[in-house]
Amino acid sequence: MLSSGLRFLNQPAVRLGADAFIKNGCVKRTMSISALAGFEGKHFISIDKLSNEELRGLLDLSKKYRDTYGKESSVDAVTAPKPLTGKSVSMIFQKRSTRTRVSTETGMNLLGGQSLFLGPSDIQLGVNESMRDTALVLSRFNSIILARVFSHDDISELSKWATVPVINALSDMHHPLQTLADLMALEDHFGDLKGKTLAWVGDGNNVLHDLMLGGAKLGMNIRIATPVGYECNAGVLETTKKLGAESGTADVFLTNVASEAVKGSDVVVTDTWVSMGQEAEYEKRVKEFDGYQVNATLMKQANPGAVFLHCLPRHPEEVSDEVFYSNQSLVFPEAENRMWTVMAVMAAQLGRI
């Protein structure tokens, strides 16, 4: 049986397995963060667009911000450094999100900047005004444009015309901010991730795309189980295989059987089966994802000490309460990390690290 104790934010147990990694990492952190000096002015679109050094730098800068601004920090929030004073981010939301909005607004405030929420009733990308004009106008007002959209084409168009850095806060192809939060949670728990095995169980979607890219960059073995017809993007798969080869990992394992992917894994990850905009497909998808719920039986196929991730919001058909609220679950530290990681991205884009 899984432990029913909930692992709360910053609970010491989350980090026990990573003590040596954290101790050594503190020594190297300043050097890795300095690699972000060339990140100023860059867009943040997908994990594969980052160099390995930039990925490492963003993860370490995220940890630095948690140490500085987190609830366990001894630094007074009022007197803490405010490197983004005078800076602002416009946040375009075609799709609603609790974590993305709250993490960005709170994080920007902690760093001394301002955020402006633009929902569907405030702005209609490419409808009343062209994407090009929207990008050019917002670039005149704001230091960064963050966008959470349906189509990845919208992100591509915004980044093409914007004269300030753009952050992809989610598109139908990529979700790079989530991957930073996931990898940070895994490093906090395990330490060095090289050689660890990550199993994905569910839809081959945007969350998987960046997680497989990021995992491969850090030397993780990737195992993926999706129902027939819900496979990941072929182009992202090929890029992941190339990154894995460079990192010396095993070839990506693909299957349509959940237990086959989970066998021998250290991390089990799933996501919603029905994303926003797919509500009409609910009954069809739930039927086709039968057998993909992450539960105690499935977790027993993983290695001892394996952990569980879900980017939220979750639904009971995707993961049982027994797993979701267990000591194997890192979902709440994972969610908290959304703030530290978006803070790191914004600061690096503005050269204020």
Catalytic residue among 158, 237, 311, 323: 311
- Structure tokens of 296? 């105690």
Mean pLDDT along residues 137-147: 98
C-alpha–C-alpha distance, residues 159 and 139, integer Å: 11
pTM of the predicted protein model: 0.91
Phi, psi of 15 (to 5 degrees): -110, 5
User: Which of the two residues, 6 and 294, has the higher pLDDT score?
Assistant: 294
pLDDT at site 280: 79
Beta partners for residue 129, in sequence order: 125
Angle at the Cα of 352 from the Cα atoms of 346 and 353, rounded to 5 degrees: 90
Mean pLDDT calculated for residue range 269-278: 83
Closest CA to 259 of 299, 315, 205, 307: 299
Q: Band the pLDDT of 24: cuts 50, 70, 90.
A: low
Residue 313: asked if its preceding bond is cis (omega within 30°), the reply is: yes
Identify the bridge partners of residue 225 per DSSP, sorted by sequence position.
201, 255
For residue range 278-293, list pLDDT tens digits in order: 777 778 999 999 999 9
Q: What is the DSSP string of 301-314?
A: TSPTT-EEEE-S--
pLDDT value of position 283: 87
pLDDT digits (tens, 9 = 90+) for 193-247: 999 999 999 999 999 999 999 999 999 999 999 999 999 999 999 999 999 999 9
pLDDT at site 21: 57
Q: Which domains are present in the chain? A: 88-172 (3.40.50.1370), 178-335 (3.40.50.1370)
How far is residue 308's CA from residue 330's CA, in Å, rounded to a whole number?
6
Provide the sign of the torsion angle of the four alpha carbons 119, 120, 126, 127, taken in this order.
negative
pLDDT tens-digit readout, 114-136: 999 998 888 866 677 888 999 99
Cα dihedral: 207, 213, 219, 220 (round 10): 30
Please give the pLDDT value at position 13.
37
311 tagged catalytic:
yes
Tell me the one-letter amino acid at 195.
G
- 3-state DSSP assignment of residue 114: strand
Q: What is the mean pLDDT of the chain?
A: 91
Q: Is the model's pLDDT at 254 over the cut of 50? A: yes
In this predicted structure, which of 5-14, 266-275, 314-323 has the lowest mean pLDDT? 5-14
Per DSSP, helices labelled H in the chain are 19-34, 52-69, 98-110, 131-141, 152-161, 176-190, 206-217, 234-247, 258-262, 282-288, 296-299, 321-324, 331-349
- Measure Cα distances from 30 to 58, 64, 130, 143 in Å: 11, 9, 42, 25
Judged by average pLDDT, the poorest of 9-23, 28-42, 321-335 is 9-23
Whole-number Å distance between alpha carbons of 92 and 320: 33
116 close to 168: Cβ distance less than 8 angstroms:
no
152 CB-near residues (< 8 Å, 6+ apart): 168, 171, 172, 173, 174
- The confidence score (pLDDT) of residue 28 equals 65
